[in-house]
Structure 1
Amino acid sequence: MKKKPWQKYVLVAAGVAMLSALSISEYVDHRTLRDHSNTFPMKPITLVVPYAAGGGTDITARALAKAAAKHLGQPITVVNRTGGGGSVGLMEGAEAQADGYTVTYLVAELTTLPHLGLLPLTYERFKPLLQTNMDPSAITVRADAPWKTAEAFLEDASAHPGKLKMGNAGTGSIWHLAAAMLEQKSGVRFTHIPYEGAGPAVSALMSGFVDAVPVSPAEVKTYVDQGKLRILAIQADTISEAFPSVPTLQQATGLRVHFIGTWRGLAVPKDTPDDIAGMLADALIKGTEDEEFREEMRKHGLGLRVKDAEAFARQLKESHDTFARLIPDLGLSRK
């Protein structure tokens, strides 16, 4: 049956109305997906730490989680995901749902492991929130060890290649690279013993399973203060604020070694909405300003170095590019 002219207009008008409704619906959905200011966070946040409890990363994470939770209105739960020198936790964080409920504590190993062929992703899989701190390597032995100076330690290592066991936080970890750089600069050779984080490496030193560790001052401070461990030298251009009486490696041995150590910062998966990332960054930065957090950092000898998302992004790229050159030079690349 032939449609009357007025029926055509009704159909056209109905079609336009439907399209308009769909457009409005899509617009509302689009806005809802991108405006979380009134809904986020609705549940606790998970903070993935890629190392075992007890190390500097874990200590910093727990102190910051407590401080930042005050500004989020939800608790931040720290979970330790160990394995692969940090790669297990970093991969879990990168592959988490990009909804802001999983934050990862990034460590320097994120920019070393890819060049070693031990991590199938790079910093580009994350959206940086902020950097929290930076610490140099501290060559540390037991208090009853026969070496009273870094020079004596290296002389023994030179006379007996491979004799001295150097513990580290995992193959390819920044502390492994610190020891490897020391080998390169001094011409000695250690036997490297990897552990799942600095905490276990320090425990191994305390128990006599290794002769030394090149971890951060913070990770040995408690035992140094108790007189159980001794720091021989700091691998940096300047002395450590936590141990001002400990010489730099150059002061102790004449070897010129620039800063080598760790930095730590927080990030979310790269596709996390900007407004959610901004809310997290704001709460975390306020957490770093919390006096209780800062006191915890001072107590453990952790170096406070706060950078915003933009500056932290630059740090990530610079570190990645540095180790892209350094790791092949040290003969450690497995790629």
Structure 2
Amino acid sequence: MKNKITILILVTLFLSQVVLFAAGQAEKPYPTASDVRVIIPKGAGGGTDISARGLLQYLAKQIPGINFVPTNKPDGGGVTGMVETANAKADGYTLGMVTVELAMFPHQGKSPVTFENFESIAAPIAAPAALILPASSPINTLDEFIAYAKANPNTITVGNSGMGAIWHIAAMKFEEAFGVSLKHIPYPNGTADIVAALLGGHINATIADPSGIKGQYEAGNVKILAMMADERSNLYPNVPTFKELGYDMAIRAWAVLVAPKGTPEPILTILREAARKTYDDPEYINYFVRQGIDPVKIIGPDADEMMKEDHAMYEVMLQKVK
């Protein structure tokens, strides 16, 4: 009998230790493993890559024991990387960046995933479109540009990043808002070609992210008439916004750090709170300013709302692309 009691006590003690161990494991905060893979759906060295790596570098300072491992997956215009992130296990150990193309590609038959496949963590950038002209242009204000475009339909040549791409859509939104017709000239190889055409007199204007022309702007070779944003840029404080000039228009090129849909809320909270602290780090802000990028402070649900709004807007606008 005494042996049975002894065995029962030992078994009880053993089971209690197992329960305590399991509870301790369950309560151990994220991350329990150090490496967190982050899929970047663009090539190394581009704006999305620079922004993602900057965010991760400073985000890691706020989460003890974490090691973000960026992986570039640019195939398919970024679709491959975004799909891989969406299909990853929702455990916090695979995250990804998604870009504004996430709001566009589904309506063009290029991607099976949308904003609904992800949980937003933080958006480090949401670059507004800007109306950019050569410094030699006689047009100096947004209202002058609108008046000239109305008086001379299909005359002003405007460079964009390719038919159906974001800056083409921005120019189309401009036409729709002001009842004008512009002549669209595509430069699918990117900003460098647009800037060369602008400075060479081959086009009259462009509507694009101003970060790609910052050097030319500072050199006095181009001018920015206005930004399609709600607030003035810290990098271009003397440039007015469309909104302050009386026109409520906003087009932005964003990138958002996300997790797969279904990632536990406690993990998302840790990541979002870390991002909130990161946004106030002066070193983090300086990192972006050195790259010619004006960082934004968009967290979680606000990023979801931004992506949802743009998804709906591009659904309408892309139907008008001919």
Tell me the CA shift for residue 122 of structure 1: 1.1
> Equivalent of 1:98, from 76, 90, 94?
90
The question of 1:240 aligning with 2:233 is answered yes
Q: TM-score scaled by structure 2?
A: 0.72
Task: Label 1:99 to 1:194 Cα distance change in 2 as closer, same or farther (>3 A).
Answer: farther
The answer for the alignment partner of 1:136 in structure 2 is 128
1:115-162 Cα distance to aligned partner (Å, 9 max, x none) = 333322211111221333433211224446676555676647974738
SS at match of 2:255: strand
Tell me the CA shift for residue 110 of structure 1: 2.0
SS at match of 1:112: helix
Cα distance in 2, alignment partners of residues 215 and 41 from structure 1: 41
* Matched AA of 1:176: H
Tell me the CA shift for residue 67 of structure 1: 0.7
Cα distance in 1, alignment partners of residues 165 and 43 from structure 2: 11
Task: Label 1:37 to 1:162 Cα distance change in 2 as closer, same or farther (>3 A).
Answer: farther
The answer for the alignment partner of 2:307 in structure 1 is 316
* Matched AA of 1:285: R
Cα distance in 2, alignment partners of residues 284 and 78 from structure 1: 17
Does the 8 Å CA contact 1:36/1:276 hold for their aligned counterparts? no
> Equivalent of 1:70, from 61, 68, 86?
61
The answer for the alignment partner of 2:7 in structure 1 is none
SS at match of 2:129: strand
The answer for the alignment partner of 1:118 in structure 2 is 110
Cα distance in 1, alignment partners of residues 301 and 259 from structure 2: 14
Tell me the CA shift for residue 234 of structure 1: 1.7
Instruction: Please show how residues 263-282 of structure 1 align to structure 2 within 5 Å.
Output: 263-282=254-273
* Matched AA of 1:265: V
- Unaligned runs of at least 5 residues, structure 1: 1-20
Moved more, 276-285 or 147-156: 147-156
The answer for the alignment partner of 1:291 in structure 2 is 282
Tell me the CA shift for residue 298 of structure 1: 4.2
CA RMSD of aligned residues (A): 3.9
SS at match of 2:278: helix
The answer for the alignment partner of 1:216 in structure 2 is 209
Does the 8 Å CA contact 2:99/2:256 hold for their aligned counterparts? yes
> Equivalent of 1:190, from 183, 206, 229?
183
Cα distance in 1, alignment partners of residues 38 and 46 from structure 2: 18
Q: TM-score scaled by structure 1?
A: 0.70
1:55-77 Cα distance to aligned partner (Å, 9 max, x none) = 3x334223212111223434434
Number of residue pairs matched? 297
